């Protein structure tokens, strides 16, 4: 499964359309899910889902819709290429390669976005940040879903799907892989979750 998580951003800014167009062009047969946190957007060839409602969410926090996508992938027992809408494949080959990538058996997931915060190699999951583009194998999804239920205190204080994945992985002594090659750039200058940082340079 390939999923894209999108949301309404300030001042009508949207990064979704170019990503959807590229995916439709180079990966037309892949099972695609567009998860909308807020206003529903339809896309040809995509299964669109409305995220929420989330009665226990008291602020903008994409870990809630992220976990909804994980639940869907777990029900289908499939590997998940999880993309945020402000990720851009470096080129068409990068997208195809990420779709077909096999996560190594000794790690829980693979991150395809390189940033100033990330270092290539195998790392403890607690070090994971930047969830623009990750591959989560089916074997890792049950623990992510279980972790929210058994570690509610941890879940409640964390803001962001990347930090929630990192904490869940830390609780399960996971390792993750950061690819040396950068498959996806981060193009999102305008953040829904952190509007105070909207003038900050990309990482």
Over residues 151-190, the pLDDT tens digits come to 888 888 999 999 999 999 999 999 999 999 999 999 976 6
- Helices marked H in 27-123: 63-76, 92-100
Give phi and psi for 16, each to the nearest 5: -75, -45
Distance CA 157, CA 177 (A): 25
Exposure string for 187-198, b = 16+ CB within 10 A, e = fewer: ebebbbeeeeee
Beta bridge partners of 48: 34
Least confident of 48-57, 71-80, 133-142: 48-57
**With the CA atoms of 18, 198, 129 and 152 taken in that order, what torsion angle do they form, in degrees rounded to the nearest 10?**
-110
**Considering only CA atoms, which of 66, 97, 96, 99 is closest in space to residue 81?**
99
- Helices marked H in 47-176: 63-76, 92-100, 141-150, 152-157, 161-171
Distance CA 175, CA 127 (A): 9
Write down the pTM of the prediction: 0.92
Answer yes or no: is pLDDT of 197 > 60.
no
Whether residue 131 contacts residue 164, with contact meaning beta carbons closer than 8 Å, is answered with no
DSSP letter (8 states) at residue 53:
-
39 against 203, higher pLDDT = 39
Q: What is the mean pLDDT of the chain?
A: 91
**Considering only CA atoms, which of 33, 20, 18, 129 is closest in space to residue 81?**
33
Beta bridge partners of 49: 35
Distance CA 16, CA 32 (A): 14
Mean pLDDT of 17-40: 94
- Give, in order, the Cα–Cα distances in Å from 107 to each of 54, 80, 136: 30, 15, 10
């Amino acid at each position: 499964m390939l999923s894209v998580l999108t949301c309404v951003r300030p001042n009508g800014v949207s990064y979704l359309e170019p990503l959807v167009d590229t995916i439709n062009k180079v990966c037309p047969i892949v099972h695609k899910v567009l998860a909308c946190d807020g206003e529903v957007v339809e896309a040809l060839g995509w299964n669109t889902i409305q995220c929420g409602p989330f009665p226990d969410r008291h602020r903008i926090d994409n870990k809630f819709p992220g976990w909804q996508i994980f639940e869907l992938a777990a029900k289908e027992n499939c590997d998940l290429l999880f993309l945020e809408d402000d990720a851009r494949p470096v080129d068409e080959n990068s997208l195809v390669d990420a779709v077909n990538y096999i996560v190594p058996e000794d790690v829980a997931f693979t991150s395809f976005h390189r940033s100033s915060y990330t270092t290539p190699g195998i790392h403890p999951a607690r070090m994971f940040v930047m969830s623009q583009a990750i591959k989560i194998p089916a074997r890792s999804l049950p623990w992510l879903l279980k972790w929210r239920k058994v570690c509610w205190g941890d879940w409640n204080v964390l803001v962001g799907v990347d930090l929630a994945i990192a904490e869940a992985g830390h609780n399960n002594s996971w390792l993750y892989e950061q690819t040396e090659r950068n498959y996806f750039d981060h193009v999102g200058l305008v953040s829904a979750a952190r509007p105070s940082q909207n003038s900050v340079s990309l990482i």
